[in-house]
Each structure stands twice: as C-alpha cells, then as structure tokens.
Homo-oligomer: A and B are copies of this chain.
Amino acid sequence: MSYNKTASITAETINPRVKTFNYEPCGDIATLAERLQEELKKNPGSRPFEEIIYCNLGNPQALGQQPITFFREVLSLCDNPTLLERDETRMLFSACAIKRARKIIEAMPGRDSGPYTASQGIKSLRESVADGIAGRDGYPSRPEDIFLTDGASSAINLTLQMLIRSEEDGILCPLPEYPLYSASIILHGGTMIPYNLSEDGDWGLEIFEVKRCLEEARISGLTVRAMVVINPGNPTGQVMSVTNQEEIVEFCRKEGLVLLADEVYQDNIYVDHKKFNSFKKVARSLGYNANDISIVSYHSVSMGYSGECGRRGGYMEICGFGEDVVGAICKVASVTLCPNIGGQILTSLVMDTPKIGDDCFERFLAEKENIQSSMVNRAKTLEEAFNSLEGVTCNKIEGAIYLFPRIHLPAAAIKAAKTEGVSPDIFYACRLLDDAGIAVVPGSGFHQISGRNIATGTWHIRCTILPGEDKINEMIPRLKSFHEAFMNEFRDRS
C-alpha cells in the first residue's frame, strides 16, 4: 500500500514511546500461527498434524470453554428489557435469570441499559461488587471505592496514568512479567523497575530481591511509586503464601509504595493446600486499614470459570486514597465517558453468583465445577508432560492458567538460534509450532531474558492449559516426539 508522503504522521514521526514497548499479542508466534493455519487450510495433509493447538493465548472461550448459562441469560435479558414483560420469556430463560435481570434493570437510572452511566460505573452494580468482596474477604468493602472498568487492563492503565509524572517515576514489576505492565509504563512515560521472581523457589517473591531493586532504583535517582504483584501469577502459575503476602504488605507500608495487586486469577486455583487471599484481606488481618497502606486490587470477568474476555468487564477496588485522588481518577475515567454496560453487568454477576435455593443454582454450580475440575486435570497433565521431557523443568502450576517450563537448551541449539538471529527460546518456540503445530509464547515475551537472567541465560516458554482435554491428549505425544527429535538434533556431544 502506498501512503501519504506529505502527511505529518509516519513510522518515523509517531510517538516514540509507541515504538519502544514490546507486547506479546502482536508477537511473531501469533503471526506465524495464523500463516500456518492458512497453509493447512489450503493444503490439508501438508504437515504431520491437521490443526494447530493454541497454547499461546489466554482466551478460554476461543478454545471451547463454554460460557456460564446464567451469565449469558442475564446479559441477554438486560440488553432487551422488553423481554421481561413477556410471558413467553419464561420458556426460554430461567426464573433466576429473569429475577436478576429485573433487579438490575430496576436499579438502573431510567430503567434501561442504554444510557451513559456514571464514569465510575452504575452504583447498584458497584454495591453488588462491594458485597461480593466483603463476602470473599470477611472485611467491609464500599461501593465508592469500586471503579467498574472495561476489563482489568483499562483499570491498570488508568492507575499507571495517575501515578506516572515523568521517567523519574518508577514502578516495581515482577520478572517474568505480564507485558501489559511494561507497555503501559512506557506509554505513560515512566520507568519500569523489574524485580526477579525466584524460579528455584517455585516462582516465589523474595522480599530481599525487591528491596535490592528498590534501593538501586532510589540510588539511581528514581522516585519509586508503586509495586505490582500478580497473584496467582502470570506467566508463572504461582499462588502466594499468606506469609509471603504479609511480607509484601509490610514492605509496601514501610516504604510508602502503592500496592497494585493484579488478582484476576483469583478463581483459578489448582492445589488443595493453597487458597486465594486478597492483599486487602491480608493487610486488614494484620490490623492495617486505609490509613496505613494504599492498595489497588484488579479483577476481571475474562479469566476464572467465567472466561468472558470479549465482554471487557472488570473492576478495581482502591483503598487508602484521599477523596481528592478518587475525584481525579473519576475525572480521567470520564474522558472516555463510562465503561461498557454489558461488562459492568457481568462484573456484578461474577461477584454475586446464584445462591443455594435459586432455581438455577444447581446448573450454575455444575457448569462452574465442570470447568474448574477440567482445568485441574489439564494443569496436572501438562505439568507432568513437561517434567517428563529431557532437560525441561517445570514448577508446579498452583493457579492462573499458565505453565512456564524452563528449557535447558543444548549449546548447539543456542548456536543455531544465534545463526538465525533470534533468541534461543524463540528458536525453540518457532520449531515447536512449525514441526508439531503447537503454539506457545517464548519466555522473552515476558522479558524473562532481562535483568538477572541475562547472566544465567535461562530459556522458557509459556503454555496455557486452555485447550480442551481431548486436545491436550492429542498434543502431548506431539510435544514429546518433537522435543525428542529436537534434542537428538542438537544434543551436546562432549
């Protein structure tokens, strides 16, 4: 395509921050996978596999996860409230969904789901979210501290925009990281201060490491404003212990850091000995209130058993901020007017699900448990499969939807990658896609290559547990035989 030669916008003249950041969903693997899929469509049988198995994207429903019926019923009714006045509606929708939709619509200004809402979200829906948080944590939550948002990403962006004044403002972020953080920090003109998670310690967070990074940053002249924690972890799949969370709360309180708690995987836990605890709950149980520490908690409808990624629903709960700061957040939120109403409604549903006695409770529970137990199976199966491979070590997946195995690549493979001018993990991931039709994200997409890891040179891939169990069973032999062949090709012969 030709383009306008006189226009004032070209790749050379766009905002340079846009050029700087590196964001995985636009990465090479996704593009390669798309190309390969096209090729398979045109020439079936041209590869030893019939279709690509997508373990690269955290997009559950794209891989066959079924939506929760109750959620979709309520959304459908709220979109078209005239249905609530028709008798025939009872033939198509559960009484429980009709009741809930009626309650939602009746509490809406104008009794319809059409108008702009408050920039913070509809008050009655924020009340449901706050009640859900209070029930989960056992500590009070206030609707005025809830901001409904177009997914957690929008909330994270908004917070970082509030915090970052210049590149002298730093934000502590875990490595490996979910790259939304570095992208957003760069776009808002700040500095990311990476701290390393401990692979040898099951991807745990070591406070001495965070402290080291904080001190180095301060010595270099940065003002450190906040610390990001992702629990359960993306891409690591770790669930933090309460003791670890307590250390983090104490640390942020002492150092005057805002604790940004990415808690979007709170409904994805796969081990019996750990459960999800919100950072707010941990802080309150230590006796700290809004006067002692500022915490922002992010949640979303995209993950968990809900998996409603395309709805763009989520919330942030902000605790320990002055009223003037809350007003300023409201002002920035108002620039895009309000979060989408469907996402707002769904967020309230995720935080206020059917209860025992509701006519749809049994069905809701069965659907939810079916998804969750299948995730447990898939997590376990994939973890075992990776650990059975030569030179691969994979930490236990305790939560979230990812495994992040380390591939101990032979020297010859690293050399071959260098010859091709790519990072060794990208080399491995491209071969895995090309030879076995399995799409994963190379570890360097999470900036695992940066920081301390440059020295040790560790290589990883991120693999989701989202394909269905049949697909996982089809994938494992493909993974095993690919890996064996790859190792045979490159095995160290010293």
Q: What mask results when residues 149 to 167 of chain A are scored 1 for a CB within 8 Å of chain B, else 0?
A: 0110110010001111100
Give A124-164 as 1s and 0s: 1 = Cβ < 8 Å from B's Cβ atoms. 00000000000000000000000000110110010001111
Contacts of A332 in B (CB 8 A): 18, 187
Closest to A296 in B: B9
Q: Tell yes or no: A204 within 8 A of B by CB.
A: no
Least distance between A350 CB and chain B CB atoms (Å): 14
A275 CB within 8 Å of chain B: no
From A78-86, A352-360, A389-397, the one touching the partner chain is: A78-86
Q: Is the CB of A5 within 8 A of B77?
A: no
- A80 touching B91, Cβ below 8 Å: no
Closest to A4 in B: B320
| Chain A residue total in the interface (Cβ 8 A) | 109
Residues of B within 8 A of A25 (CB): 119, 334, 337
Q: Is A7 an interface residue (CB 8 A)?
A: yes
Q: Is the CB of B310 within 8 A of A338?
A: yes
Residue in B closest to A188 when the chains form the complex, CB atoms: B15
A214–B253 Cα distance when bound, in Å, is 50
B interface footprint on A49-88 (CB within 8 Å = 1, 0 otherwise): 0000000010111101001010011011101101100101
**Nearest-neighbor residue (CB-CB) of A339 within chain B:** B312
Chain B residues near A57: list those with CB within 8 A: 116
8 Å CB interface, A15-64 against B: 15-16, 18-19, 21, 23, 25-26, 57, 59-62, 64
Given A77-B76, A337-B153, A340-B343: A325 touches B114 (CB 8 Å cut-off): no
Q: List 20 A-B contacts (CB under 8 A).
A: A4-B291, A4-B322, A6-B256, A7-B293, A8-B225, A14-B162, A15-B164, A23-B334, A26-B327, A26-B334, A62-B114, A69-B82, A76-B77, A150-B336, A151-B336, A153-B336, A157-B336, A187-B332, A311-B340, A342-B342
A11-B324, A83-B92, A342-B342 known; 11 new pairs, CB 8 Å cut-off, are A4-B290, A4-B291, A10-B324, A10-B325, A19-B328, A26-B330, A61-B115, A69-B82, A153-B335, A154-B336, A309-B337
